[in-house]
Each structure stands twice: as C-alpha cells, then as structure tokens.
Amino acid sequence: MVIAIDGPAGSGKSTVAKLIAQRLGITFLNSGSFYRGITLCVLRASLDYRDQEAVLALAESLAMEYRQSRLVINGEDVEGLLHSDAVDALVSPVSAIVPLRHLVNRKIREIAQSISVVCEGRDMTTVVFPGADYKFYLDASSRARALRRFNQGVSSLSLEEIEESIQERDEKDKKKAEGALKIAPKAEYIDTSDLTLDEVCAIIVNKFTL
Ligand code: DC
C-alpha cells in the first residue's frame, strides 16, 4: 500500500505522515530527506550546486539507504544534519536538477516495491506514485508555516526572515521543470493552518475506515 502526501514546507506533512505510519504500523518515507542528504554532501564536498554534472556524479556515488525511517549515507546516519539553515538554503536548487530527481524517484519506488509506505514530499502524488492508494495535499498559510518552524527553535532566523525564505522556496518549488508542487487529480486537499495535528490525522485516518 502507498499513501502519498504532498504539500509545501511547514504544512505539517512530515509529522502527520509519521503519525499515520505509526498508527498503521508501516514505514514513513520522507522524500525531502534524499534531497537534503545530497545537499549536505554537496556542501561537505564544497561543490558548486550550479555544476549539475558534478552534483549528479556525487549523488550517484553515494550509498543511500533508508533504515527505520532515517536516512543513512555511506553508512552514516545523517538524519540529524538535514535541517540546518545551510541545507535549507541550498536544497531547493539542488532538488531542481532533473536527472537528480530521476535518481531519487528510482530509489523511492525501489523502497516502496516491497513494503507499505506513507511517503511525503512535493511530487509523491503527481510523479512518483500517481496511482497511490490514497493521495493527500496538505497546505497552510505562509505565516502559519513560518510560525511552526520558528517554534521548533532550530533556526537562527527571525519569524519574518523564515516566512520570507518559505515564500521564496515555495516559488522555486512551484516553478520546477519537473516535480513542481501541485495538487494531483483526486488528491484530498486539507488546509492545516487552523487545525491541530490530531485533527489533521483524524481527517486522514477517517478516509481509511470509510
Ligand atoms: O519537505 P522538505 O522541506 O524536507 O523538502 C526539502 C526540499 O526538497 C524542498 O525545497 C523541496 C524539495 N523536494 C522536492 O523537490 N521533491 C520532493 N519529493 C521532496 C522535497
């Protein structure tokens, strides 16, 4: 079974997908982690992200595994390093590299071939699993999303700066040549701005029991 959830940064899709996966006892798969992990390696290698061939060659050389919903690259659990401001700033242009998207998509489909997953990202419902058993699009206002990130306490930016960077990233994500963020046909649209996590999960879980 594939449950696919898409939406912009801060819409709550990661947390919701994780909870749903826990409730159903299946694997949570965060597709953004792959783009973030590759971005981390680009930063570590001091590569110019605009050199698409070099970035792709680096990505192809990485052994990326997903163990218990955590990204492991070349044997190192990098999960705790994926949400720094440096990775945040670079991940959108890195994820816009088309052949790199194909590499990540192949990896994700390979993982979902043998197990049931709740996967989330930007193009899970449109490109990677258009025929998913269940498809959801989670949304929220940019202010609500910035506030959530601010309250995590992991960013050194002000609330206004976070909101600006979220809006910039949204724009870039929506304009991607491939894998642009959009609402898939037959996806259930949920605005989470004024909903609690439990309320969002309840809406989703209700779909399975109907
Ligand atoms: O969901 P996130 O914030 O961790 O995603 C990080 C970046 O990766 C973001 O700029 C969008 C991009 N991304 C993507 O292009 N396609 C996906 N399926 C998941 C994430």
Residue 6 CA, closest ligand 1 atom number: 18
Task: Report CA(62)–ligand 1 centroid distance (Å).
Answer: 19
User: 134 — alpha (psi -120 to 50), left (phi > 0) or beta?
Assistant: beta
Ligand 1 environment, Cβ below 6 A: 9, 31-32, 35-36, 91-92, 95, 121-124, 169, 173, 179
Domain positions in the chain are: 2-205
Q: CATH for 2-205?
A: 3.40.50.300
- The model carries a pTM of 0.90
Over the stretch 20-61, which tens digit does the pLDDT of each residue have? 999 999 999 999 999 999 999 999 999 999 999 999 999 999
DSSP element (H, E) containing 199: helix 197-209
Nearest to 3 by CA among 136, 105, 180: 136
Over the stretch 110-132, which tens digit does the pLDDT of each residue have? 999 999 999 999 999 999 999 99
- What's the CA angle centered on 159, arms 191 and 70, to 5 degrees? 65
DSSP element (H, E) containing 183: none
